[in-house]
Amino acid sequence: MTTLFDPVTVGDLHLANRVVMAPLTRNRAPGAVPTPLMATYYQQRASAGLLITEATPVSHQGQGYADVPGLYTPEQIAGWQGVTRAVHEAGGKIVVQLWHVGRVSHTSLQPGGAAPVAPSALAANTKTVLIVDGVPTFVETSMPRALELAELPALVQTYRQAALNAIEAGFDGVEIHAANGYLIDQFLKTGSNHRTDAYGGAIENRTRLLLEVVKAVTDAIGGGRTGIRLSPVTPANDVIDADPQPLFDYVVRQLAPFGLAYVHLIEGATGGPRELPDRPFDYTALRASYRSAGGQGAWMVNNGYDLALAGQALEAGADLVAFGRPFIANPDLVARLKQGGPFNTPDRATFYGGGAAGYTDYATLPA
């Protein structure tokens, strides 16, 4: 019987175990440049089979939160090289999550103070994080403008270039962030996409940007080094789709031919309930659709998993299990899972922004 602690091959990557560290935004990259402290943080967690970095904007326009690292300048690439080198020295594997926030941003974070961009000029009923007088502060997002059709090819190319930058930075691969109400997810879902052109309306149109990004990235670095994150029903960042099952069934069938390393599924509400009574969804059927279409990539599950639930998921056909918040306070989470605990309690006050406190100072098990 497969366990969390068995090795697995995922695309071009050979992983020591099936425990994945999920992306966790920590707002500790002043000026959007990765720091040596970040290298320590990721190195401490390198016993995971795979580390997925915090969400990382592909362009300045893609920025939506203060002090999150980017991947679009030479300084950022150099900063990430320090991170990937530290992880590899510890025997780990790491991919970077490629991100464009779309409408989940603030004018103060945008080039020239411009409005954020989105598929449609619809404000998100959500908040973002700014640093105000040195303190992380939640503020309302700014009203976005709708992207023009002529802008979309260049936008797709920012993902391609970020993927190339990722390889230059020493990453083992990338994860395309198409979840949680950010730009690609905004295009996918009817609640945020009111376009009437080739990128709106029918499912085939709303998925067009996603598939163009996947093609651009896989053409650049190969499907075996590319993953994707999806969240069919999460209400995060004020997104909703009128009929998500056929939408995501179509998405995974279209993804199958790209030879992706993995598909990363958030089940239920991100960081919340695994099942939403008003948004039923059949994840088993979704995986079956992907497999029947020829999709060979690893199936990664995420949201509220513990050791027992992870074992059930692997027995039911999942290949990888992602853990998010448990990794904040437990850098040696793999060892703690293997022996059944104990588990450190995270300090919520230090989740976003700050320095080493609540970041790199959590205790590990005795050697």
At a CB cut-off of 8 Å and minimum separation 6, what does 317 contact? 284, 287, 299
**Residue 105, token pair as written in the block:** 């941003």
Task: Give which of 218, 195, 177 is closest to 68, Cα–Cα.
Answer: 177
Task: Give which of 333, 252, 293, 236 is closest to 4, Cα–Cα.
Answer: 333
- CA dist 101 and 111 (Å) reads 14
* Burial class of residue 111 (count of CB atoms within 10 Å of its CB; 0-12, 13-18, 19+): exposed
The label of the residue with tokens 């179509």 reads 250
251, 230 in Cβ contact below 8 A?
yes
Catalytic, out of 182, 262, 305, 352? 182
41 tagged catalytic: no
Q: What angle do CA 103, 107, 111 make, to 5 degrees?
A: 100
Strand locations in 155-261 (E): 173-178, 226-230
- CA dist 141 and 144 (Å) reads 9
| Residues taking part in catalysis | 182
